[in-house]
Structures are given as C-alpha cells and as structure tokens.
Amino acid sequence: MLDREKSKKKSVTKRLAMLILALELTTAGSTIYAQKFRDLALTPPMGWNSWNKFACDINEDIIKRMADAMVSTGMKDAGYQYIIIDDCWQGYRDSLGFIHPDSMRFPHGIKALADYVHAKGLKFGLYSDAGWKTCQSRPGSRGYEFQDAKTYAEWGVDYLKYDWCYTEGLNAEGAYLTMRNALYAAGRPIVFSICEWGENKPWEWGKNIGHLWRTTGDITACFDCVVDHGTWKSWGVMQILDMQKGLRAYAGPGHWNDPDMLEVGNGMSVNEDRAHFSMWCMIAAPLIAGNDLRNMSEETVAILKNKEVINVDQDSLGIEGFEYASVDSVEIWFKPLTNNNWAVCFLNRSTKPRTINFSWKQHTVIDSLFNKEANFKLTTYNIRDLWARKDIGTTDKDFSANIPAHDVVMLRLSPVKK
C-alpha cells in the first residue's frame, strides 16, 4: 500500500510540474525560450514510415524487423535515419492523462522499442494528432500536449508526425504552435512534422513552428490518378507534383515542403517508381520510404539506394527544383546545387515513349528566386547520367535521349575545370 501511495503521489507531482510548465510557457515572456529546435533537418529527413504499407496492422515485431532491414539492406548507409511508427500505436490514457501504448501490439512499451532502434544507429519517430482523436480514432493530443511531449522525450523519440483529424474548432497555426512549445519545453530535440494536409497553407507560417509540413492530402501508389473516398481524396504522384507549384520559395534548410511519403515498391512499375523518386529528389522532398523493407526487389533497392540521386535531394543549398519547360509531354526540370552544379530531370508524363532533343547552348537557365544561373554559352558542363551512373560528355554537344513512358532521364551538370 505504501508503495502504491508513493507511486500515486509521484504521478500527481509529475502532472502538477507539467501543468506549471505549461502555464509558464503561455505567459508574456514565453517567446524567449519557447521555439522550435534549431539545427535539425538541415537537409530533408530520410527514413521509413509504417502507414503506406501496413496502415493500422502494426506491432513491435514489425517495427524491429524494419529497423533490422534498414541496416541490412544498406539503406542506413545510403542516408535513411528514421524509423517512424504512424497511427494505431496508442492504447489509452491513464487517470492522470498520460498516454500508454496498445499493450497487445507493443507489450514491451515504446521506450524499449526506441532503445532497439537507437541500438541500430537509427533514430525513432512517432505519430500523434492535434485533435481529440487520431485519424484512426486513437487518443489524440488535444489538451495533453505538454504531457505527451514530456512522455515522448522520456521514451527517446526523435521525430514527431502530428496529424489533423478531429480538430473541430481549432486554429491550425495555434495548435501546432502549442505542440512546438511543448516539445521545446520537454528538452529533447525532436523533428516536428506538421501534417495538416496543406489546408491552412502551412508554408506561410510553418517555418518557425515545424521542420517540415505536408502540402497536400494523402498520396496513393498510382502514378497519375485520383482516388475518391467520398469525403476525401488520395492523390497520384503526378497530381501531388502539380500541387507543389508556387511553393519552392518557402522551403530550405530546417523547413521543408512535404509532398507526402514515398510509394516506391508499393505496386507501381519500375519506371514509375524511378520517376517518383527522381522528382521527390528534384523538389528537395523528405525521403520517407513506405514499403516493406524486408521484401524488396532488386529494382526497388536500386532506386531507394541510388546515392547519386539522393545527393541531389540532400544538397546542402536546400533549393527546390523548378519546371523550366515542357515539350510533347516531357517536362524539363532544373535544380541548383552546391559548387555551381545543376541537376536536370527530363520527366516523360506520357503513356508512350518520347524522344527529347535539348540544345544546351540555346538556353540560359535563370532561377531568379535564388539568384542562380546556368549560361550554357559561357560555361561548359560535364554531364553525369545519374541512373545509368556514367559520364556522357559535355554541354558542348546537344543532348538527345529516348525516355520510356512514365520514366525519367536525370543528369548532374558540373562546370568543366579550366
């Protein structure tokens, strides 16, 4: 009985401390120390999330096996860091309001699982929701932000995806600001992923709140389609790509546009997977895989681990690419890189093969937003084909290529040293 009383008093004291901290952070002077963690996500986050493949059908064994596979397949060495559990890990709140995991799915608790992931040299991510309930009707964080943030910090969470279901009456910026402050108060640096589907233009206010923000509704494993669920829609890769227009001005190191997770390996063709991955790298998107890492084809592994393509995404300038031109269903995209390099991607959106002919010296590519220019009359560039992984000449000669349906040719241009 004495032990139970001590435990109860300790829990009450803990909650009172959290309530006092919450009150302190809502006072006039709170802006001095209530902020997002800096120096995180200086390049787009890379990792794996459970939702696209497993949805609610998750448990601790699956998460452990994904962590194992991220290491054994070489994805960790390619730059992938985070193992993120999406919705359905939650069980209940106790009488003091503290969140507990579903004991059937996660019998050893979340901290033990985070420790397992950390022991692999990886980082651990978790999901919650700004509303009363998550999208799958598990307990949300509304009204419990400071308790949840403190709990996540104690568990060893490194990344929080924060959704937007059951948020009636809430202001999006205010709700995400509250959780940002709670995370900062908890003291553990946690990447904060804003996931309100772009409905409240988070790119306009998210820079000082989160490290990335969703720009659209959910992706689906389809190259060019819309899936109507009645009250909401999920979007194909090309539809989501089109929704990114006009947003590149808002992204950069520590604050990224997020066009949703990758569907590579989830049923599209190899060509479509390659195009999907390439375009996400061209727009400096977070690279969060969503497939079963234990059972990947050689083609899927080759796409997800192509370090030369990943380097385009992870370039330290942090500048999104842009569509420069479009010719006969082939879009031509350019992305400024460090050391006056450029990435170029020819995207064939057609269901038929296309031939592209590009005369470099007839073009001067200007990125007025970031003051970058590629003048091919004045500068000669070496050309590296990033998917063929070979050098293919210079921009002194015109470029020609046959591009299969729903596929890409992706190049890196480097100035010729004189």
Q: Does the annotation mark 391 as catalytic?
A: no
Beta bridge partners of 162: 128, 194
CA distance 128 to 189: 17
Q: Which residue has the tokens 């006092």?
A: 20
**Cβ-contact 218, 261 below 8 angstroms:** no
Respond yes or no: is residue 218 known to be catalytic: yes
Indicate the SS3 state at residue 172. helix
* CA 370 from centre of chain: 23
Q: What residues pair up with 342 in beta bridges, in sequence order?
A: 336, 413
Convert 206-222 to b/e letters by CB count within 10 Å (16 or more is b): bbebbbbbbbbbbbbbb
Q: Alpha helices of 165-306 — where are they, by DSSP H?
A: 172-186, 237-242, 270-282, 298-304
Among residues 218, 260, 273, 292, the one annotated as catalytic is 218
Catalytic position from the list 163, 260, 313, 407: 163
138 burial via Cβ count (<10 Å: 0-12, 13-18, 19+): buried
CA pair distance 135, 132, nearest whole angstrom: 10
- Rounded Cα distance between 282 and 346, Å, is 11
Query: Please, are residues 153 and 187 in contact by the beta-carbon 8 Å criterion?
Result: yes
- List Cα–Cα distances, 178 to 43, 116, 146, 172, in angstroms: 25, 30, 8, 10
Q: Hey, which residues are catalytic here?
A: 163, 218
